[in-house]
Structure 1
């Protein structure tokens, strides 16, 4: 490994390469141990794992997802039949996991920000994908991007059941607070947040009022289906593209209906179907201003038959399909 990043350790799990012409994902994505610094500079995408869930409000082993995610690769081909695109045309490099502390959440968050700042400062070309972890990681990842690029405005497109606007002063640096943390620390503007997929009885009226006060844009799952989910996403991307320099896509897996995603800490009825989230991720991936994304709140310990782990990996590959379609 020619490059070490602050706050980051090498991938804890890697696959042995068995083919020079990869057909499966585990044969295609390269670990940092196998590449040079120049290869990272020229990569299309770099990914990191963020195995943190001690900051989750509800009991969660989402910290286990980066490991389960890597191990699931063997079950997926690089070819996407739906979009007739082969992801092996992209260069994707796994840079490893952010360093963790057993009890100090603030230090874990500091390591996330430090790692992202270092990666963003060193490499201007690759998109960055973060595999969580709970949703608190989004605030620290965006903070790292802003540290590296203080002159660039960042906007957020968020697929989520929740606003994630709870008060950090009450809950600390938790998974229910990342969007409010970013707004109140002036790292983003409320008007630059587009949340799609909220539904049911899982947000308080006070959070809705906070969103209204700060200009947060939101579309419920019911309203998105009536208008057309793709239409809502396209409108959000178009509006964001004239307001900000960088669009960040955060995908909270609890946006899925509980029948599709038993392995999320806050599973709920009334959410998205898997086909909807896959199509949404592909569409978001096609937009040239989307430069980073994360997948959060997926607990393999709660999962059944790897249903949710496979769905999470499918979201990752669907997003990359969109990135490949840019070309």
Structure 2
């Protein structure tokens, strides 16, 4: 078996109880990787939430997603695509340290480096965790790419808080990437930013570093397709690959009751699904993460369920590339 030392097998492994051979559930298709089978895409859990500014049980999200894989099929009727013919496997979870947050971030970067060394052509589908995981994830991704990385961040927050106040948190991943020179600001696009969720000082910091920003109001008024076309053009201009990070708190609170930082008048589920499909279709997009859900606060698993659809819709775009 092709063992990766910093990865543990998924804690939650279920198959569906469907006896209908004409219907494939995601849980029956996205099975645990055996360490040998050649795969194109890999689901990787990063169960960290101790670095969240607000109370969060985001460390439970990878297993919460796995649990709901039994409830959805692999077929997307809108694009007439069945995912079951593509090799995607669950690699398991990156090991976290119980108390040392820096060690957790080190493990994320090192664990992903191990994965990319053994599976250099793997497309990573990473499930956090809080948004702090994106900084070490993109550092490993940039090393894998060996060139310049662009980013499309779908989020109600800028995540450029100062590292001087509490160190790396879910409010600092973009700041960490800028200050470590992993990604240049001119290659970062933020979509869905929200009023009363950010500060003027951090807005000025982001703009001064060349980050392009679109607010949730702009999405509502200008349309998600137009904005995503601009985002992809900017993030892809002069870069070798684009990394996509989706913070589920970009959604309006009515669509995402299970995020730690809810906002009113956020994006709709359809806007987010259309955005990730468009990103998935672009050949320059080579990495993806989804973060910031607290399954413990999620009524009837509504937010986790939406996140499953976001992940699968992104995959539909990815496998539909021409």
State the 1:242 CA deviation. 2.7
- Cα distance in 2 for partners of 1:175, 1:159 equals 14
Q: Which residue matches 2:144?
A: 148
Give yes or no for the alignment of 1:86 onto 2:91: no
- Cα distance in 2 for partners of 1:273, 1:290 equals 23
Give yes or no for the alignment of 1:243 onto 2:242: no
The correspondence for 2:171, drawn from 166, 171, 176, is 176
Q: Which residue matches 1:113?
A: 109
Q: Is contact 1:262–1:307 with CA below 8 Å preserved after alignment?
A: yes
Give yes or no for the alignment of 1:101 onto 2:123: no
Q: Deviations over 1:177-197 (max 9, x none)?
A: 000100000000011110000
Give yes or no for the alignment of 1:227 onto 2:222: yes
Q: Secondary structure at the match of 2:195?
A: coil
Query: Does the C-alpha gap of structure 1 residues 55 and 314 become closer, same or farther in structure 2, counting only changes over 3 Å?
Result: same
Q: State the Cα RMSD in Å.
A: 1.5
- Cα distance in 2 for partners of 1:186, 1:103 equals 28
Q: Which runs of 5+ in 2 are unaligned?
A: none
- Cα distance in 2 for partners of 1:253, 1:6 equals 30
Q: Is contact 1:22–1:88 with CA below 8 Å preserved after alignment?
A: no
State the 1:241 CA deviation. 2.1
Per the normalisation by structure 1, the TM-score is 0.94
Query: Does the C-alpha gap of structure 1 residues 326 and 59 become closer, same or farther in structure 2, counting only changes over 3 Å?
Result: same
Give yes or no for the alignment of 1:189 onto 2:190: no
Q: Which runs of 5+ in 1 are unaligned?
A: none
1:1-327 paired onto structure 2 within 5 Å: 2-16=1-15, 23-32=24-33, 35-37=34-36, 39-40=37-38, 43-149=39-145, 151-327=146-322
Q: Is contact 1:8–1:111 with CA below 8 Å preserved after alignment?
A: no
- Cα distance in 2 for partners of 1:193, 1:290 equals 13
Q: Is contact 1:132–1:296 with CA below 8 Å preserved after alignment?
A: yes
- Name the stretch that deviates more: 187-196 or 275-284: 275-284
Query: Does the C-alpha gap of structure 1 residues 21 and 91 become closer, same or farther in structure 2, counting only changes over 3 Å?
Result: farther
Per the normalisation by structure 2, the TM-score is 0.96
Q: Is contact 1:98–1:112 with CA below 8 Å preserved after alignment?
A: yes
Q: Secondary structure at the match of 1:174?
A: coil
4+ residue segments displaced more than 3 Å: 16-22
Q: Deviations over 1:207-255 (max 9, x none)?
A: 1000111000101111122222111111111232232111000000000
Q: Is contact 1:53–1:62 with CA below 8 Å preserved after alignment?
A: yes
